[in-house]
Structure 1
Amino acid sequence: MPSRRLRFGIVLLVCLSLGLHRGVIQGIAWTQMLVHYASETTLLGAVEMTFDGEHPCPLCKAVQKDREAEGKQPQQSPQAASKLHAVLVNITTLTAPSADDFTFVMPRQSAVRRCQAPETPPPRCGQA
């Protein structure tokens, strides 16, 4: 049975060979861009600017350069951006239900009393 360090090393090497480190770095870059753009515009505008490809940050450029150096192109299609926009538009048009749709139950005015008093002294397990 391999040791923990050996297994961790094998998993790490497999992840690096698959290029998963780029995905992690790209995710960090998108998060930073989203936070930065959200401070300047609306959330919908920030998401559009983050994922449209026209406003790359230095970290995105570095990931793109690394992908091109290895010969892999990103797998983003124009349809993916339109689907993202359609989902975001649907999310922003949600409305809250009216107050008439909710029913509230008023709490009882008095507490419910117990019929039986607790045993005294409390039962002890395992002692004779």
Structure 2
Amino acid sequence: MLRRAARLFIVAALMFSIGLHWVVLQSAAWAGMLVTYTVQGGSLLTGVSQTFDSEHPCPLCLAIKKGKQSEKKETRQADPKQKIELALTFPAELVLTPPAPTLSPLPDFPHGIVRRTKPPFPPPRRGEV
């Protein structure tokens, strides 16, 4: 249960970090507007045209637009003192040395390793060792 809650929290945090919450809210607003304008206009064509013509925004659309604009202003007005600068420094002289030789060479197995025990017969079933 805790693992599932942690995953949901991570997904929600990622959604907010990339601005996906605005897409979800705008989709909900369009769905509501489509239903409302279709019922008021009497046809689906009228509902679709009024929903997407940007001349008939609903209160939720206006709130989303205002929220996006305030979010953009906050990112533009960031304090220049808080700017993160990354600097790479390189050493004046770089010396590479080869690795030390191994103490003993690895044994040579030209024919492979011989197995001295037979596997169990019949093979063990799942769960048995």
Superposition TM-score, scaled by structure 2 size: 0.50
Match of 1:6 in 2: 6
How far apart, in 2, do the equivalents of 1:25 and 1:19 lie?
11
Identical aligned residues as a percent: 46
Equivalent in the alignment of 2:24: 24
In the other structure, the counterpart of 1:53 is: 54
Aligned residues: 71
Within the alignment, does 1:71 sit opposite 2:103 as a pair?
no
Kindly name which structure, 1 or 2, has the bigger radius of gyration based on alpha carbons: 2
Instruction: Measure, in 1, the Cα distance between the counterparts of 2:55 and 2:12.
Output: 33
1:44 is displaced (CA, Å) by 0.8
Q: How many Å separate the matches in 2 of 1:4 and 1:39?
A: 40
What is the CA–CA distance in structure 1 between the aligned matches of 2:8 and 2:32, rounded to whole Å?
Answer: 29
Give the match for residue 39 of structure 2. Answer: 39
Q: CA RMSD in A?
A: 1.8
- The Cα shift of 1:24 comes to 1.2
Unpaired segments ≥5 residues, structure 1? 73-128
Unaligned runs of 5+ in 2: 74-129
Task: State the distance in 1 between where 2:30 and 2:6 align.
Answer: 32
Could you tell me how far 1:4 is from its partner in structure 2?
2.6
Measured after TM superposition, the shift of residue 7 of structure 1 is 2.2
| Structure 2: distance between partners of 1:7 and 1:68 | 30
SS in structure 2 at match of 1:71: helix
Runs of 4+ with deviation above 4 angstroms: none
Q: Which one has the bigger helix percentage? A: 1
Residues 1:39 and 1:10: Cα distance change in structure 2 (over 3 Å): same
Q: Tell me the amino acid that sits aligned with residue 59 of structure 2.
A: P
